[in-house]
Amino acid sequence: MEDRELLALVELGGYPNFVPLYRQSGYRVEMVNSVRKAQAWLKRHRPRVLVAEYYADPQFRDRISNLESLLATLQRYGVEAKVIVLIDEKYVQNLEKVKQRYPVHAVLTFPIETAAMQAALERIRGETDVG
C-alpha cells in the first residue's frame, strides 16, 4: 500500500486512542500535542489527513480557536490534507466561522465513537484513492 501520512494533534484528549485505527487504515501516524509542534512538522511533511481537536479559549486575541493557525499553515505550505475536527457540541457554531475560511472534511462531536472515525477515514480513502 502507498505510504500515507496522518498528523494527529492531541491537545486535550478524552477520547479513544485512534492510532491503531489510523494504522489499520494504511496511514503512517505522527502525533503531536501542540499547534506549534504540528506547524513545525508540516514544514517537512505533506499528510493526507489531519485530525485535530477544536477548542476555544478567551485568551486567544486574534483568532476564535486553536485550529485557525494550524489550518493557515496548511494553506501556506500548500498541503491539501483532509481535515477531521474533533469538537465539543457547544463549539460547533464557532467552527462554522472557521469553515468559511478553511476546508474541513469531517466534524466528529464528543463523545467520539470509533465507528464515526472509521467512517470518516473510509470516506477520505474513497475520495483520495480514486483515479
Cis upstream peptide for 103 (omega within 30°) = no
- In whole angstroms, what is the distance from residue 76 CA to residue 107 CA? 22
Reading the chain (131 residues) residue by residue, the pLDDT tens digits are 345 999 999 988 889 999 999 999 999 999 999 999 999 999 999 999 999 999 876 565 555 677 888 999 999 988 899 999 999 999 898 888 889 999 999 999 999 999 999 999 999 988 765 54
Number of structural domains (the chain) is 1
Angle (CA) 22-111-121 rounded to 5° is 25
- In whole angstroms, what is the distance from residue 94 CA to residue 85 CA? 12
CATH of the domain at 15: 3.40.50.2300
Phi/psi at 59 (5° precision): -70, -20
